[in-house]
Every structure is written in C-alpha cells, then in structure tokens.
C-alpha cells in the first residue's frame, strides 16, 4: 500500500480526496491535517466519511506534521492559495510525490503572481520543478514525476474543450472568449456572504470581471496546446456562480484560423483526439454538469456556426472531482506508475 498524507483535509477538496482514497485499492490515508478543524473527527465534519474513516481525527498542520508528511509516499496539498508556498521547500526536499491542488505552482512566470494574486511568489525557484497536472494534455510528462501542480477547475474545463482546435491550429489564439459557470462549492468551505443559501438560491451572477485569477493559467494552457508563445494569446474569461453545489460548464468561443470547418468534421477530430483518454466523453449534444456529478469525467462538444463565423466548444466537469481532487489522484496515479484510472469513478451520479 502507498501511504498518503493530505494537508488541508478538512476543506471540500480535502474531503473529496478522502472519499476517493477510500475507494482506491493502492492508497491508504496515513495522516490528514487541518487548521481550524484540528483535533476534530473527520466523520464529525463530514458524516459521509464515517463508514470508511470511523477513527480518523484531523491532525494540526504544524512544522512537525509537515516534515512527517514529506516522508510518506504521496502528499496531497489541499490548502488555500499561498499556503503551499510556505511549506513546499520542506515537502520538495523529502521523498514523497507531491501533488498541489492550489494555484501556487501552476504558473511558470513568477511575475503573474504579483499581477493576478497580488503578492510575490515566496519560492519562485521551485516553479520550474513542477509539472502542470492536466493528464489529457501532458503527454508522458507526468509519468514518474515527483512534483505536480494539478490544473485548476475552470482551466481544466476550458482547455479540454478547446485543446483539439488549438493543437491543430484551427482557431486563432488572439480572440478567445470563455464564459463559465461554477457551483458554489468552488468558493470553498469557509462561510461567505455571497455563498449563503439566501444569496445563491434562485440567483445567477457573474463575478471576477476581467481579473479572475484563472485567466493567466488559461492563457498559459492555451499557449502550450497551440504551441505558441503566451504573448500571442488573448483570452477574455468571465466566470459565473450558478445555484448548484457542484459542476462547471465552460462555453468557449473561437474564430477559425482558416476556412470554417463543419460541425461533423470537428466532432470527428475531437473523437480522434480523445480516443484512449478514458475520462473525456465527446458528445453530439450540449454537455451538462449533472452528467459529470461525482465522476472524474469531462464531457465536451464543439459546433461550427457559419452564420456568425464562430466555433463554439463546450466542456462540463465536476469542479471537485475532475476540477480538483479527482484530477489530483489521476496525476498521482501516473506519477506513481499506477493505472491512470485506478480508484477513480467515470460514471456520474444521476439523478
């Protein structure tokens, strides 16, 4: 068995990691740390975990526990943005495979952290040591690697929707538009005025206009898929909060780089591109978030609109699974030489 440490296990992504590890035949949770919930039983915070973790108590996230985690086989960091930077030198110097679920090591240019996150990166020398964790576009880069920065939720949905177009040079990279809606769990477990039931129920709102922090990650991912420099990528991203617990639906608009292909041609290209990728489903109809609920799958489709001259690509995922914890386990499987699909659900919960 592979001993696993989860740092920041009391948040939504931490709880999802615990759920997925409980069904994984090769992973065993050895320690789960928390901050505000330290000393509390996991089953008291999340009764859904009681059957698999009847005796698990969240340990405090101290220097001593972090050092102990570095000596395990696998560490998942499920901390808020910025917190991983402070402990990563210790984790990186250990023997464990480390998968970070935050944005701390996703961006290759340290200047982006000043521009988009409002603070200088604490350990910029470690940025190049991390592999970007989106398995469907990473090729073999994740195989046997030790430090992984799992891709973010919005960038995952958008990149998987757009990647075949970008890789084949079918669309321009200087006029991309991404509109995406997320369930409220994407805001995290901490209480906020904007995520109370009264604020969310029956409501649909845009937020983070022009400055959402996932924008540079999307642009970086688009540039890599297209094989171009990020300086020739321009992407307008508008996120929305939807009145649901889970899910992301990304609607992406792109201009053709040449002659407008047909929808049938594009769907055929998408099926060829994602053949052999078990967690991507190419659909003829528009994907829905409910189809991915609880699963590590992404449902994508694409249409060509000759009337307006736009190509529209859509992607749906569960933001806590393929957009976070499931993606992290998928990356860990590849890094550890396990089967990519091991322990991961591919069938959504419906209704």
User: What residues are annotated to the active site?
Assistant: 153
Q: How far is CA 111 from the centre of its chain?
A: 22
Q: Provide the 10 A C-beta neighbour count for residue 119.
A: 11
CA distances 328 to 164, 208, 230, 269, 302, Å, are 23, 25, 25, 27, 26
Under 8 Å between Cβ of 50 and 44: no
Under 8 Å between Cβ of 10 and 79: no
Residues β-bridged to residue 256: 171
CB-count exposure of residue 326 (10 Å: 0-12, 13-18, 19+): buried
**Phi, psi of 130, rounded to the nearest 5 degrees:** -95, 145
Strand pairing category for 59-60 and 27-34: parallel
Structure tokens at 151: 């891709």
Quote the longest CA-to-CA distance of the chain. 62
DSSP E strands, 173-283: 176-182, 205-206, 235-241, 248-254, 280-282
Length of the chain: 351
Tell me the three state secondary structure of residue 305: strand
| 276 Ramachandran zone, left/alpha/beta (phi>0; psi -120 to 50) | left
Q: What single string gives the DSSP state of each residue in 162-225?
A: HHHHHHTT-B-SSSEEEEEEE-GGGG-SS--GGGSHHHHTT--EE-STTT-TTHHHHHHHHHHH
Distance CA(236)–CA(250), nearest Å, equals 13
Q: How far is CA 197 from the centre of its chain?
A: 25
Tell me the three state secondary structure of residue 9: coil
Distance CA(32)–CA(56), nearest Å, equals 8
């Amino acid at each position: 068995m592979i001993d696993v440490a989860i740092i920041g296990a009391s948040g939504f992504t931490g709880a999802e990691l615990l759920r997925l590890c409980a069904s994984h035949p090769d992973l065993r949770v050895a320690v789960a740390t928390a901050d505000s919930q330290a000393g509390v039983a996991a089953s008291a915070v999340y009764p859904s975990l009681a059957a698999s973790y009847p005796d698990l108590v969240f340990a405090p996230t101290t220097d001593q526990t972090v050092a102990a985690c570095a000596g395990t086989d696998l560490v998942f960091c499920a901390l808020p943005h910025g917190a991983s930077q402070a402990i990563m030198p210790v984790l990186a110097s250990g023997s464990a495979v480390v998968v970070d679920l935050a944005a701390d090591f996703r961006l290759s240019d340290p200047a982006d952290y000043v521009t988009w996150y409002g603070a200088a990166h604490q350990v910029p020398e470690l940025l190049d040591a991390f592999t970007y964790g989106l398995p469907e576009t990473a090729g073999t880069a994740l195989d046997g690697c030790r430090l992984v920065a799992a891709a973010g939720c919005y960038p995952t949905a958008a990149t998987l929707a757009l990647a075949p177009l970008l890789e084949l040079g079918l669309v321009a990279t200087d006029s991309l538009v991404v509109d995406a809606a997320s369930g409220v769990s994407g805001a995290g477990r901490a209480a906020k005025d904007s995520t109370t039931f009264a604020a969310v129920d029956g409501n649909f709102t845009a937020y983070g206009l022009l400055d959402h922090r996932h924008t540079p990650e999307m642009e970086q991912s688009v540039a890599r898929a297209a094989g171009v420099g990020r300086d020739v990528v321009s992407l307008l991203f508008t996120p929305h909060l939807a009145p649901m617990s889970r899910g992301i639906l990304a609607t992406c608009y792109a201009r053709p780089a040449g002659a407008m292909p047909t929808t049938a041609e594009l769907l055929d290209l998408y099926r060829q591109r994602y053949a052999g990728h078990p967690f991507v489903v190419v659909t003829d109809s528009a994907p829905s978030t409910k189809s991915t609920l609880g699963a590590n799958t992404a449902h994508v489709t694409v249409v060509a609109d000759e009337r307006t001259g736009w190509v529209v690509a859509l992607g749906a995922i569960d933001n806590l699974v393929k957009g976070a914890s499931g993606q992290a386990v998928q990356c860990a499987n590849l890094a550890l030489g396990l089967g990519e699909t091991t322990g991961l659900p591919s069938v959504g919960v419906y209704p």
